[in-house]
Structure 1
Amino acid sequence: MPEFPNIILYAIPFFVISIGLELYGSIKENKKSYETKDAVTSITMGLGNVLLGFISKGMVLVAFMMIYDNFRIFTIPFAWWSFILLLFADDFAYYWFHRISHQNRLFWASHVVHHSSQHYNLSTALRQTWSGGFYTFIFWLWLPLIGFHPGMILLQMSVSLLYQFWIHTEAIDKMPKWFEAIMNTPSHHRVHHGSNPLYLDRNHAGIFIIWDKLFGTFQPELKEEKVVYGLVTNINTHNPITVAFHEWVAMGRDVFSGKKSLGDRIKYIVKPPGWKHDGTGKSSTDLRNEWQESVGRSQSAVGSSQSAVGNEL
């Protein structure tokens, strides 16, 4: 097996320079896309993720190697075509990891970190989980099973993460139409970070937006619906510890406190964020449906008003 470099570590200077250039452009054009405390928090979360990654990636590598050495169905060689296959296979795995991370509270507890900023800039890309690396790798376990070497998989996972850095910006409006049709772009990913009901749980792509289009989760960015970044209920803190673990604490409180059946306690782990056993909670689907109904009522009222005016004339 050839030795693959840790490209994320090599990319750190690129991250720093890119953030500096975007910050300079933001100040020059008075866009106010950066807020100091928010950016520092994002960078701190990124550094914590890298440090914890030395432990979590070791665990992931062991798990992948156990499957590859003992249970693999095929042996996929180190060849140019195998890396192309892995590019799509890894991205397919990422799509389902990302989608389920918005639909299952256990996975949302780690992923919510990335959505906790109310700003959208390159520093937001660094706002990464401190806990997810220890268990979200289960979505990639099928790759060593079918014969991809663990080293190849870890390299491609890093490539995916590196690609997703540049799409966290408002400095780029739209890419060429052919690129927007196939690839994940800043416009597509801005939608994903929106707390607007229309944008909730949409555009889960890593590199290729085609998965969202195939599985019905695609939503284009609309000029008339400006993206509002952050969470439906923002945590309003810059404390990295709180950012990293606030949802774990909230989930633990829901699971272990109060009088609930065992089934309800389990549902607080597996149901979508916002679910409540007493029916008072609202998921992203509920919020989107309510919004669509309100828009429909508004359009109906406007239509009735225009019709009445027309009759009077």
Structure 2
Amino acid sequence: MDLGWESLTLLLLSPLFLLCMLAEYRILRVRGDADYSFKELVCNFSLAGLHQGADIIATLVLMPFFLWLYHFRIWDIPLSAASLIGVFILQDFFYYWFHRASHNIHWLWASHIAHHSSERMNFTTAFRQSLTYPVSGMWLFWTPLILIGFAPSLVLVVVGVNLGFQFFVHTRVINKLGVIEKVFNTPSHHRVHHAKNPQYIDRNFAGVLIIWDKMFGTFVEERDDIDIDYGIPKPIQSWNPFVATFHQWRTMLSLAFTRQPTPLKTRLAYLFGPPAIADSAGEKT
């Protein structure tokens, strides 16, 4: 259990990930689409390795806390088909709010921006993850599941399954999927999420189920008449995984702590306010 159920789940899925990447690469080559870059491939895989290492360490550190928290659970929920479906849907619901918060709270965006910093959209983009997620507090969004009564190990497995599913939506070679689009997150929906086109920014936060975006007003359909521009407004222009990981942390902490004089309210806004506040401040320096 202490080896990290989330990481183990993703490791078990890795052969399937590899097959999908090889198939996608072949399809793109046949189309004459040079979407794969060796330098970015190395960067993305490095980011994935750093993320998984940090995830294992975080599990070792946090599992005692999760087990302690589990003592205060509201219900004892036995393992069954119904409870598996329930924890899967609830975890996806909390993932939606984590993901949405990651685009609206600078402290969380400092981690999540690494994932969005690629200007390409292929299966390897899914591996662009930050090792700082435990620091920014992604795990806090799973604690309600433990308090409800789901075992911590089960919660972490479901988190891994959710993240594993999301690998398959990072591609341009799959078109719209008909009726599936109404309920599930799909490559079409997620291409919108990775776009920096004004009409697409901060939309489609779904993990597995797109219904949350439709319920809470963040859903936008991919349009055939718009050429998607991927990435972030200010490209990092580096294949260094540590630059991808820490560049926004450096910006955020510099704004919050090195400017003098800066009122406490402003410092807190740089840390926990919308990323746009810090972006505006950075443009003035």
TM-score range, shorter chain: over 0.9
Cα distance in 1, alignment partners of residues 62 and 195 from structure 2:
31
Cα distance in 1, alignment partners of residues 160 and 252 from structure 2:
29
Correspondence for 2:116: 115
- Given that 1:192 and 1:203 are in contact with CA atoms closer than 8 Å, whether structure 2 keeps it comes out as yes
User: 1:136 is aligned with what amino acid?
Assistant: M
Question: What SS does the aligned partner of 1:168 have?
Answer: coil
Give the superposed CA RMSD: 2.0
Cα distance in 2, alignment partners of residues 49 and 279 from structure 1:
29
Q: Deviations over 1:55-97 (max 9, x none)?
A: 012233222211112x111111111100000111000000000
- Given that 1:90 and 1:156 are in contact with CA atoms closer than 8 Å, whether structure 2 keeps it comes out as yes
2:273 corresponds to 1:271: yes
Correspondence for 2:34: 32
Cα distance in 2, alignment partners of residues 231 and 171 from structure 1:
22
- Given that 2:66 and 2:152 are in contact with CA atoms closer than 8 Å, whether structure 1 keeps it comes out as yes
User: 1:223 is aligned with what amino acid?
Assistant: D
2:49 corresponds to 1:47: yes
Question: What SS does the aligned partner of 1:184 have?
Answer: coil
Distance 1:116 1:269, change over 3 A: same
- Given that 2:47 and 2:130 are in contact with CA atoms closer than 8 Å, whether structure 1 keeps it comes out as yes
Question: What SS does the aligned partner of 1:33 have?
Answer: coil
- Given that 2:117 and 2:232 are in contact with CA atoms closer than 8 Å, whether structure 1 keeps it comes out as yes
Cα distance in 1, alignment partners of residues 102 and 213 from structure 2:
15
Cα distance in 2, alignment partners of residues 45 and 280 from structure 1:
26
Cα distance in 2, alignment partners of residues 154 and 175 from structure 1:
29
Paired residue total: 279
Cα distance in 2, alignment partners of residues 82 and 278 from structure 1:
46
| Superposition map of 1:45-194 within 5 A | 45-69=47-71, 71-134=72-135, 135-176=137-178, 178-194=179-195
Cα distance in 2, alignment partners of residues 180 and 127 from structure 1:
25
Cα distance in 1, alignment partners of residues 280 and 207 from structure 2:
35
**Larger C-alpha radius of gyration, 1 or 2?**
1
Distance 1:277 1:43, change over 3 A: closer
Question: What SS does the aligned partner of 1:164 have?
Answer: helix
Cα distance in 1, alignment partners of residues 65 and 211 from structure 2:
29
Q: Name whichever of 55-64 and 15-24 sits farther off.
A: 55-64
Cα distance in 2, alignment partners of residues 24 and 235 from structure 1:
28
Give the CA deviation at 1:279.
7.2
Q: Deviations over 1:105-157 (max 9, x none)?
A: 00001011110100000000011111103421101111110101111101100
Q: Deviations over 1:7-62 (max 9, x none)?
A: 21111222222212211211121112212211221111111111222101223322
Cα distance in 2, alignment partners of residues 77 and 208 from structure 1:
24
- Given that 2:146 and 2:152 are in contact with CA atoms closer than 8 Å, whether structure 1 keeps it comes out as yes
Give the CA deviation at 1:257.
2.1
- Given that 1:74 and 1:147 are in contact with CA atoms closer than 8 Å, whether structure 2 keeps it comes out as yes
Cα distance in 1, alignment partners of residues 27 and 38 from structure 2:
15
Cα distance in 2, alignment partners of residues 120 and 43 from structure 1:
15
Give the CA deviation at 1:277.
9.8
Which fold has the larger relative contact order, with Cα–Cα distance below 8 Å and residues 6 or more apart in sequence?
2
Question: What SS does the aligned partner of 2:275 have?
Answer: coil
Unaligned runs of 5+ in 1: 283-313
Cα distance in 1, alignment partners of residues 250 and 273 from structure 2:
16
Cα distance in 2, alignment partners of residues 28 and 276 from structure 1:
43
| Superposition map of 1:164-313 within 5 A | 164-176=166-178, 178-258=179-259, 259-276=261-278
Cα distance in 1, alignment partners of residues 129 and 221 from structure 2:
25
Cα distance in 1, alignment partners of residues 14 and 157 from structure 2:
16
Q: Deviations over 1:152-179 (max 9, x none)?
A: 1011000001100111000101112x21
